[in-house]
Amino acid sequence: MTLRDERGLFEQNKVIYESAVLTFHGVEGYDVYNGSIPFEWEGKRYIYGRVERREEFARSWSRLFYETGEDDWTLVPNSMIYQIEDPFVTFADGKLILGGNYCPTYIGEGWHYFVNFYRGTDLEDMYQFACGPDPMKDVRLIELADGKTGVFSRPNTPDIEAKYGSKSIVGFTVIDSLDCLTRQVIMDAKPIIGLFGDAEWGGPNQVYLLDSGLIGVAGHQSYVIWGKDGGRDLFTYLAITFVFDPVKHEILDKKIIATRTCFPDGPCMNDQTDDTIFTSGLVPRDDGKMDLYCGLNDCQFGRAVINDPFVGFGKIVKGYKR
């Protein structure tokens, strides 16, 4: 079954309990999208968002917002500005970990991009401690039950497609501590086979330790519908989850959890992105369901309430709260 077939079946049977577009204050004239999941820090709820003018693609900053109502967020005054795209957060070693894609200008032979990692115990005093290989986006970290750190990679160089058929793959490895995180460690992560089909790409966006010892991953899977006779190319991004067994190094479950149709209609960055959602991640709710956060059409940020995609494989061990 092709990914398009899977999408068709999902949309025939999808269950979305609620959906909304987030509102952001304090950055008028800019779009906010592709942000982190919400997290709690010393009694307040925050989110990092990618802030960008719609006509200036890849000229982004990541800014910190605090919750001022349901699906309503306001810029934290005078907070740090990070020159990264698509920010994400996790907690490890008692610290907040912030990461995002750093994309320098086009340098002759192509785009350069890699993940920068910051950590700290003060939202206003975060230190960069590592950066990933160039080119590679979507590197993610997870603190494991034994205190070690799981590392997910996402190589997407031309030799990857030649070897595997897909434009990117995902790898996994374990390091003793965050101080062991290096570009070489990320590059050497062992590939996870079977995630993406020919000409597809994708990667992990948020990673969760489950009480079964398995790892739940919220990510994205993508393909292009190529235009004909001068027509537009349409970039399709779907939200997916999979469960990963770190001992056997294999996937136990992969599924589509959302498409663009799961969120309210809205504007697009351009006519190639109106079928695009970029997964931020999942936040458990008190009613047992999940809030799924996704960037929409490269210019908005949405939330949808869905069933827990990890049912039968374990519960998330801890939330994103300090």
- The pLDDT tens digits for 98-121 are 999 998 766 566 678 899 999 999
- pLDDT classification of 94: cutoffs 50, 70, 90: confident
pLDDT at res. 152: 98
- pLDDT classification of 7: cutoffs 50, 70, 90: very high
pLDDT at res. 231: 61
- pLDDT classification of 1: cutoffs 50, 70, 90: confident
List the one residue out of 71, 75, 72 whose CA is nearest residue 303.
Answer: 71
List the one residue out of 288, 295, 198 whose CA is nearest residue 2.
Answer: 198
Q: Rounded to the nearest 10 degrees, how much is the dihedral formed by the CA atoms of 279, 281, 282, 283?
A: -130
What integer best gives the mean pLDDT of the chain? Answer: 93
Report the range of poorest mean pLDDT among 30-34, 39-43, 87-91.
39-43
| Whole-angstrom distance, CA of residue 201 vs CA of residue 36 | 21
Q: How many CB atoms lie within 10 A of CB 15?
A: 9
Percent of the chain with pLDDT over 70: 95
- The edge-to-edge listing of strands for the beta sheet with 149-153 is 140-143, 149-153, 170-175, 190-192
User: Could you tell me the domains of the chain?
Assistant: 3-306 (2.115.10.20)
Class of residue 1 by CB neighbours under 10 A (exposed 0-12, middle 13-18, buried 19+): exposed
| Interval 251-263 mean pLDDT | 97
| Interval 280-284 mean pLDDT | 97
Token representation of residue 79? 């907070």
Percent of the chain with pLDDT over 90: 84
Q: What share of the chain is helix, strand, coil (3-state, %, to 5)?
A: 10, 45, 45
Query: What are the pLDDT digits (tens) for 116-175?
Result: 999 999 998 999 999 999 999 999 999 999 999 999 999 998 899 999 999 999 999 999
Q: State the pTM of this model.
A: 0.96
| Interval 190-195 mean pLDDT | 95
Alpha helices in the chain (DSSP H): 3-13, 158-164, 183-187
Length of the chain: 322
- Say if residue 228's pLDDT is above 60: no
Query: What are the pLDDT digits (tens) for 36-76?
Result: 999 999 899 999 999 999 988 778 999 999 999 999 999 99
| Whole-angstrom distance, CA of residue 88 vs CA of residue 294 | 12
- pLDDT classification of 15: cutoffs 50, 70, 90: very high
| Whole-angstrom distance, CA of residue 197 vs CA of residue 234 | 18
Helix (H) or strand (E) holding 118: strand 114-120
